[in-house]
Amino acid sequence: MGDDFLPDPREFQVNEHPLSFYVLASNEQTVIGLFSLFPQNMVCWEVHAAMLPQAKTAEKWASAKQLPAWLAENTRCKRLVASVPDGNKAAMIYATHGIGMRYVGRQPKAFMKDGQLQDLIILGMSLNGG
């Protein structure tokens, strides 16, 4: 995960902004992943998903499908967005077929990976009557 400019993992600091949400995805025994949610404003939030590789595929999909309803019930979020690097097919499939997001647009050459500029695919979906 991340672009060419991601710092050393030992330097990572959790975003502690009071409006940020970290939603754990779990099964009956353990955590299987995490959704990080960062408000761009009070109604439009950006999501980042990180599912653990040992989690079962069905559990990952169930977590994705439950996220919009959880957000609708527990937050003010009316628009959920994501920016996915063009080459990250797994994230595109998870966001569109799992969470239910749709293609909104593209930011050309907005992400550097392995020394190559890539487009960012912009995805979004409405929640809570948005």
Question: pLDDT tens-digit profile of 46-94?
Answer: 999 999 999 999 999 999 999 999 999 999 999 999 999 999 999 999 9
46 and 37 Cβ atoms separated by less than 8 Å: yes
pTM, whole model, 2 decimals?
0.90
* All structural domains of the chain with their residue ranges: 18-126
- The confidence score (pLDDT) of residue 59 equals 96
Average pLDDT estimate for 14-31: 90
Q: Per the CATH hierarchy, to which homologous superfamily does domain 18-126 belong? A: Gcn5-related N-acetyltransferase (GNAT) (3.40.630.30)
- What is d(CA 119, CA 80) in angstroms, rounded to the nearest whole number? 20
- What is d(CA 93, CA 112) in angstroms, rounded to the nearest whole number? 21
- The confidence score (pLDDT) of residue 130 equals 73
Q: In degrees, to the nearest 5, what angle opens at C-alpha 99 toward C-alphas 44 and 121?
A: 65
- The confidence score (pLDDT) of residue 5 equals 76
Average pLDDT estimate for 3-7: 77
- The confidence score (pLDDT) of residue 12 equals 78
- In the chain, the percentage of residues whose pLDDT exceeds 70 is 99
